[in-house]
Structure 1
Amino acid sequence: MVATLASVAALLRAEAERIARKAADDIHRELPGYASIGRDDLAGSAWLNVARGMSSLEEGEAPRDVPDGEARRTTRRRIRQGMAIEDIIRAYRISLNAIHDRFIEVARERSLPAESTLRGSTLLWEVGDWFVADAVKEYRTHAVSEVVRRSVEEVDVLRTLLSGSSVDPTLRPRVRALGMDPDRDHHVVLGHPTSGSREQWAADLARYGSTPGAAALVAEISGRTAALVTRIPREIAGRGVLAVGPAAPLRDLGTSAVAAEHILALVPGEIPGLHDPSTVSWRLAIPVTPLATRLLRRRYVEPLMDEGDFGVILLDTVQAHLEHDRVVRATARALVIHQNTLRHRLARFEELTGCSLESTNTIVELSWVLATRRDTGTLDVRPGITGEERPLP
């Protein structure tokens, strides 16, 4: 029996589910933006693509424009899920590649005539052109209004979740509609880029903070970027400050937000890096214990104020000494001073404050008060670390 396009298409139909699953896996692997789309959802769309390709092979012609056909419905759904048009088109091309590659394999196995193989290949690429044309039309029609609507919804949902208020039952479907999984624990992430644009920073937070079936929620709130993520976006830690609260269910995200707030207040604002409770450690107690901070500042900082600039130098020296584990040679090398000069400064600090740098208690207390410094050019403590739990706006 001579193979025909229709007979090859029938064989491919029997493999439709396997081809669709492979296409879904390829899309997840090649397009990080699709990480938030569940595998079943993606495989379902890929199955429709396979079926459309098979129909075109059987009928011998590419599909025609349908005002509300599957291409437009799929595009509309992906727009609502936050996908960019270039990713929507690329995802379809990946599906089409899976179909086309298997078609060529089966055509060879069944000795499909070269003319028919060429015709089938051309038909499949015409199917791709049809999808792209319909997708672009749908995107032009709905994208702008959908982007605005989604942006407003993201900000409102994020504010509600971070406020610590009880989760209203009506919030769960709204969370699902944004691609989030309301049954998963999320981390609150606060921060800002130290290089590049805020737009790219937010896009990368969404990209790397998402997992299959659980999209990250990202929005600009009061001039900074806030996000809810199921995966910590470590890939962008080198380009900005990331303060990550502990994972928590929706009802407890207010607690995670407070922790992220405290972490952000404690880390240097212009030094990129990822900071969470494990990296900040005992410093998390500083914002919620203002009395201890005031007492320690009175003990170790105020006695230096009458020394003017030299008081700043002394505090900088002590800070460097602690950072270098109180090793004289390493500290002197870091400060580019003679070891005797270092010893003189440390002795002067002990004299002014009445403390001993050999005392464990002094080391603990100094570490606390130095962690509240704004920078190395002032004797002030960082403003805002008062222990008052400032609600997110």
Structure 2
Amino acid sequence: MASRTRRPRSAQYRSGIGSPCVLAPLALRPPRAHAPYRDRHSVRGINASAGRRFTGTGALEAIVASIRDEVPELSEIPAEELRRITRAELARAQAAADERRAPSTAELDASAAVTARLARTGVPLEAVNRWRRIAVRRSFEAGEGDEVARLYRLWDWSDTVATRAAATYLQVEADLQDRNRDQSAAFVRGLLEGTLPAAEVQSRAAAYGLLPSGSYLAVRGRPGPGGDVRHLQRAVELSGGGEGGGTVVAIVEGEIWGVVSRRAEVDSSDGVVALGAPADLGGLRDSFGLASRALETAAAFGLDGVVTIDDLSLRLAILSEDHLGERLVRRYLEPLRELGEYGATLEHTVREYLAKGLRVDASAKALIVHPNTLRHRIARFEQLTGANLRRTEDVVEVWWALERAHVAR
């Protein structure tokens, strides 16, 4: 039989085989007897095979040197660590190609573990894949293998490992994002509760875009029924930052807590967001106290959108002054409840009358009744309760009773 004529390696590259964009096989020593199947595909077996399958120290050093030149993102990886993971990765690739099989679960797990370690050090996914491509390509160039079938098997190995690497990288990114969110939440909580030392506040503020000398508003918000707390968080982040001010908003116990440099804007359907008074970074504890009180008051009265202490007026006192509120309810509303449905109609009429600024025509139009009907209802209310809605003091007390009853419901 005529001997086989080897094509020049340059011809292989011109035909597309072994081109830099694909993976090529690593030349091996004559195959040795394999360990039992189970051990060969275990992590221990794979690690042991690395020493048997890739022993060319000079070739490995040349491959690692090429990686250093072509993948600068790996510059922070110690040289010995880079040699170790490159050697092991090549051994796994060659084992799968030699045995004409796909990567085993253990091999994929081992490669994924390397991807995760590199990802956690900040190496981009593209650089991780480039490292693998260069390692196998350079090992092919340094060897004597010319088996096209094996080359295709290495391509298949590369595709499978790259797919797993992408999934691993996404998981690592998600873990890091969760960690960053946890760190952000801890910073915001410490800032608003006043538990962070002043020096730490000043040193960490810049990382979140906050100026040490800036003026800020504490914010605390709660999504509406069926609302998305992350959507609410995003809305406040987008609208709460001013020029040169910055904003940081975190999710804490199902609510949003944060710091904004101007009044945020959210849709009423998003929920309720309360703002405290302006303060520097060291005084946000008091601002957050006001925001918390405003939030609880707004939630009790069924308000939504953005609110402040000033917006809530006497509702703060209505919510906190229980004894006064109950006394006014007994005086102005309990006599109506004895009348059943008609009493409820009188209460609704008086509420609308106060809301319309004591204007008869506007109130009657809103209630869809004749103005004389409205006048009769008001007169009946005054007769039952002793109130005189032409006196400011009585108007305030009746309004207080109505608002207190609304909260009690």
- For the superposition of Structure 1 and Structure 2, which TM-score range results when normalised by the shorter chain? 0.5 to 0.7
**Residues 155, 307 of structure 1: CA spacing in aligned structure 2 closer, same or farther, 3 A cutoff?**
farther
Show CA shifts across 1:190-229 (max 9, x none).
3344586332221121122123554322222333223221
Aligned to 2:305: 273
Measure, in 1, the Cα distance between the counterparts of 2:172 and 2:357. 60
Q: Does 1:66 align with 2:72?
A: yes
Show CA shifts across 1:80-136 (max 9, x none).
xxxxxxxxxxxxxxxxxxxxxxxxxxxxxxxxxxxxxxxxxxxxxxxxxxxxxxxx9
Within the candidate set 338, 350, 355, 1:318 is matched to 350
Structure 1, unmatched stretches of 5+, are 1-62, 71-135, 375-380, 384-393
1:316: how far off? 1.6
Within the candidate set 334, 358, 379, 1:347 is matched to 379
Aligned to 2:186: 156
1:169: how far off? 3.6
Measure, in 2, the Cα distance between the counterparts of 1:248 and 1:262. 17
Q: Does 1:241 align with 2:272?
A: yes
Q: Normalising by structure 1, report the TM-score.
A: 0.54
Contact 2:210 2:246 in 1 (8 A): yes
1:335: how far off? 0.9
Larger Rg: 2
Aligned to 2:233: 202
**Residues 165, 367 of structure 1: CA spacing in aligned structure 2 closer, same or farther, 3 A cutoff?**
farther
Q: Does 1:250 align with 2:281?
A: yes
Q: Matched residue of 2:214: which SS?
A: coil
Q: Does 1:232 align with 2:238?
A: no
Measure, in 1, the Cα distance between the counterparts of 2:217 and 2:362. 38
Contact 2:268 2:304 in 1 (8 A): yes
Which amino acid in structure 2 is aligned with residue 334 of structure 1?
A: A
Measure, in 1, the Cα distance between the counterparts of 2:408 and 2:258. 25
What do you get for the CA RMSD once the two structures are aligned?
Answer: 3.6
Contact 1:266 1:372 in 2 (8 A): no
Measure, in 2, the Cα distance between the counterparts of 1:172 and 1:142. 30
Within the candidate set 385, 394, 398, 1:366 is matched to 398
What does 1:208-223 align with in structure 2 at a 5 Å threshold? 208-223=239-254
**Residues 193, 304 of structure 1: CA spacing in aligned structure 2 closer, same or farther, 3 A cutoff?**
same
1:357: how far off? 0.8
Aligned to 2:24: none
Contact 1:166 1:251 in 2 (8 A): no
Over the matched positions of the two proteins, sequence identity in percent amounts to: 31
1:140: how far off? 5.5
Contact 2:319 2:404 in 1 (8 A): no
**Residues 141, 317 of structure 1: CA spacing in aligned structure 2 closer, same or farther, 3 A cutoff?**
closer
Contact 1:165 1:254 in 2 (8 A): no
**Residues 190, 303 of structure 1: CA spacing in aligned structure 2 closer, same or farther, 3 A cutoff?**
farther
Within the candidate set 337, 341, 344, 1:305 is matched to 337
Aligned to 2:216: 186
**Residues 296, 257 of structure 1: CA spacing in aligned structure 2 closer, same or farther, 3 A cutoff?**
farther
Q: Does 1:261 align with 2:292?
A: yes
**Residues 66, 166 of structure 1: CA spacing in aligned structure 2 closer, same or farther, 3 A cutoff?**
closer
1:272: how far off? 4.3
Which amino acid in structure 1 is aligned with residue 203 of structure 2?
A: P
Measure, in 1, the Cα distance between the counterparts of 2:277 and 2:377. 41
1:238: how far off? 6.8
Measure, in 1, the Cα distance between the counterparts of 2:323 and 2:216. 32
Contact 2:191 2:201 in 1 (8 A): no
Show CA shifts across 1:302-336 (max 9, x none).
33332333333222211110111111111011011
Measure, in 2, the Cα distance between the counterparts of 1:362 and 1:293. 14
1:337: how far off? 1.7
Aligned to 2:206: 176
Q: Does 1:330 align with 2:399?
A: no
Contact 2:220 2:275 in 1 (8 A): yes
**Residues 196, 252 of structure 1: CA spacing in aligned structure 2 closer, same or farther, 3 A cutoff?**
same
Measure, in 2, the Cα distance between the counterparts of 1:166 and 1:220. 18
**Residues 331, 247 of structure 1: CA spacing in aligned structure 2 closer, same or farther, 3 A cutoff?**
same
Show CA shifts across 1:357-378 (max 9, x none).
111101122233333343xxxx
Q: Normalising by structure 2, report the TM-score.
A: 0.52
Which amino acid in structure 1 is aligned with residue 288 of structure 2?
A: A
What does 1:60-99 align with in structure 2 at a 5 Å threshold? 65-67=71-73
**Residues 169, 213 of structure 1: CA spacing in aligned structure 2 closer, same or farther, 3 A cutoff?**
same
1:252: how far off? 3.2
Show CA shifts across 1:168-208 (max 9, x none).
54344344333333432321223344586332221121122
**Residues 252, 368 of structure 1: CA spacing in aligned structure 2 closer, same or farther, 3 A cutoff?**
farther
Which amino acid in structure 2 is aligned with residue 218 of structure 1?
A: V
Show CA shifts across 1:255-290 (max 9, x none).
322322333334367664322233223433333433
Aligned to 1:146: 176
Contact 2:221 2:274 in 1 (8 A): yes
1:141: how far off? 8.9
Contact 2:228 2:270 in 1 (8 A): no
Stretch moving more, 344-353 or 356-365: 344-353
Measure, in 1, the Cα distance between the counterparts of 2:347 and 2:236. 37
Structure 2, unmatched stretches of 5+, are 1-68, 77-165
